[in-house]
Copies of this chain bind each other. A is one copy, B any other.
Amino acid sequence: MFDKWRGFRHKQLPAECRERLARMAVEARGNILKMTTVAGSGHPGGSMSSLEIFLLLYNMSNIDPKASRRDDRDRIIVSHGHTSPGVYASLAAAGFFDIKPALYSFRKVGSPFEGHVEQSVPGVEWDTGNLGQGLSVGVGKAIYARLSGQSFHTYVAMGDGEQQKGQIGEARRAAIKFDLNDITAVVDCNGLQISGKTSVVMPQNITGGWEADGWRVLEVNGHDLDELYEAFRTARLDGSVPYMILARTTMGRGVSFMENDERYHGAAVKKEQLGDALSELGIENNMEELLALRNDGDIPSFEIRRPEYPDVKPGEPVTYGIDEKKDNRSAFGKALLSFADANQGMDGFTMAVFDCDLAGSVKTGAFGGKYPDRFFQCGITEHSTATAAGALSTEKAISVWADFGVFGMVETYNQARLNDINHSNLKLFCTHSGVNVGEDGKTHQCIDYFGLFNSLYGWKVITPADPNQTDRVVRYVLSRPGNFAVVMGRSVTPIIPDESGEPRFAGDYEYRYGRMELIRKGEGLVLVAAGNMLAQGFAAWSRLDDKGRSISLMSVSDWSDLHPDDLSMLAEYEHVAVLEDHNIRTGLGTAVGAGMIENRFHTRLTKMGVAGYAPSGNSSELYTKLGLDGNSVAEKLRALMSDKSQAAKSVL
């Protein structure tokens, strides 16, 4: 019913809107109370302080309650996701769905109305729970508006407690650098957090921090609809700078015994007190009905339309000749540019590459030079960049982030997790991985990424073996939905030859995710090399071959989803030896071992990997030091094969 007013079009809040919103607010407060008391948990206090903010946003911004995923909608991000009861109550009031199932199924297994806001509910733009993420999401959404040539506005609602998180500062500065003036942040300043007053728990000059970073701050009474409306309108119309609206509010607003009591941050009103609370609001108490429905009421399931992954061309693969001196990261940079060129000018093609002050090393410089409008140099702000790039990737756009492994996967693991939960399609390219980072030393050695990203259900990790495979993998991942991390080392990687001496990963070769590649066929022992270590594996194979010992050599460039047929192939050998420059506890060797035994293949397993934090040094010296170079591996395998005392045993 607010359609004609949406977009904060009217100079002031029209009287009929104000009245309606005020009535909605009373009812919504009642619904917040019912929802949390029926569930026996949840966060009513902040829901009630943020309520007028939510009601104005969901009723007055440009979003169609009946088509809540239209591409031109305003994006409304709720960063303090624990205020889900307030969000659900406001969305229902604005006509997105019927409130009743939320009242009885909130926080129940199977209900879309989860404890923190999730995209299972129409109108929820982003799943949040960990604080301090929302503004970074807003940056990604505002970048999408610019790239897609749309004029939608992005709103980010936040709590005051979460202003303590550092990531928010990173996002603020990115918004200013990129002139993202179509973002409005609104901070619910109720002055309380779980442990008490924010001014006591962690004193902070919120306004000063935002202003220092270049934002304009408007302070309003967050329960005064007119003041809030005016601030939202000013922020939307200005366009010269992003605004933060600092909304002074009262936790638990509307129920006297809840007001300014931090215990209601994270606890529901007790059942016996609900009647009192509701009657203060003038709302009937139907708790008994709701409790009954909690047991047997229907739980809705909403269809959430996510954009289809863009229809793109992979471009023509590049083949590197057998004698070329090339590192995988350069092959990545070239493939990235070639992909962009192949799709440039295609209808609706949108793409962005994010960098954190390492373009020269991660080889995105050529892309940035040719497509400066699509290149986002974010400086040393990995946390916020990870989230912004993830947020963009949920839109109709190709979103690429390239960084060193230690920053792109290790430092920002949690951002990758939250992106994954949010159904992102991020293409993450990480260079300088493994001990191959060399002289930068242990703080920079990304040897743990597999233990990390294999703990994320949606991410697929690929470590290509050589520049040819890298080229094909890059095109593969850019052409399909989902989160992919393509992991590369730093140094020159030899081109792997096939039996006839031609490049192995070129010609007819087609990359298949999740499958091993037999490089050389031998017998007795199979050396399984993690993609980035295939060169060392190949060197070991060659040395043994020269001495008349013919082993098999297998390349595995992705090992989240080992295929039973491949494991079965390994099981044909007496001995499986795994070579990687990752942490030996959580890398390929462990995945192969667990996969073998689960599939009931019983063969000898030897793991070769990194058993401790490694020193700083030239990467080839490091491989030697760690026994992971071709010579050392060949020696080790020879010893293994001749050790009769290690004959296979089984307890079966």
Question: Chain A: residues with CB nearer than 8 A to chain B?
Answer: 39, 41-42, 81, 107-111, 114-116, 118, 127-132, 161-162, 164-170, 173-174, 176-177, 193-195, 198, 201-205, 208-209, 211-214, 355, 357-361, 377-381, 383-384, 406-407, 410-414, 417-418, 420-421, 439-444, 447-448, 451-452, 454-457, 560, 571-572, 583, 585-586, 589-591, 593-594, 596-598, 600-607, 611-613, 615-618, 621-622, 625, 648-652
Contact = CB atoms under 8 A, between A and B. Distances in A.
A369 to B, nearest CB: 12
A617 B108 contact: yes
* Copies assembled: 2
15 contacts: A108-B617, A111-B617, A130-B407, A132-B380, A165-B166, A193-B380, A194-B358, A201-B379, A203-B214, A204-B213, A208-B213, A451-B451, A594-B597, A598-B606, A602-B602
Contact of A195 (B359, B383, B440, B457): B359
Contacts of A39: 439
A585 to B, nearest CB: 5
Given A439-B42, A652-B602, A411 B414 contact: yes
A459 B203 CA distance: 33
A459 to B, nearest CB: 11
A166 B168 contact: yes
A570 to B, nearest CB: 10
B116 A444 contact: yes
Contacts of A208: 208, 211-213
Contacts of A617: 107-111
Given A205-B212, A214-B205, A598-B607, A443 B418 contact: yes
A616 B116 contact: yes
Contacts of A417: 410, 448
A406 to B, nearest CB: 7
Contact of A194 (B204, B360, B455, B621): B360
Nearest to A193: B357
A528 to B, nearest CB: 13
Nearest to A358: B194
Nearest to A167: B166
A167 B571 CA distance: 48
Given A107-B616, A162-B380, A174-B202, 10 more contacts: A108-B617, A115-B441, A130-B444, A161-B379, A195-B377, A195-B379, A203-B214, A208-B213, A212-B212, A603-B652
A585 B358 contact: no
A410 to B, nearest CB: 5
A447 B613 CA distance: 25
A114 B437 CA distance: 13
Given A131-B380, A381-B165, A81 B443 contact: yes
A169 B162 CA distance: 13
A183 to B, nearest CB: 17
Q: Which of A81, A114, A455 has the most B CB atoms < 10 Å from its CB? A: A455
B649 A600 contact: yes
Contacts of A439: 39, 41-42, 107, 115
A414 B410 contact: yes
B378 A202 contact: yes
A440 B167 contact: no
A572 to B, nearest CB: 7
Contact of A129 (B127, B195, B443, B560): B443
B421 A613 contact: yes
A128 B177 contact: no
B589 A594 contact: yes
Residue from A169, A193, A607, A649 whose CB has the most chain B CB atoms within 10 Å: A169
Contacts of A361: 194
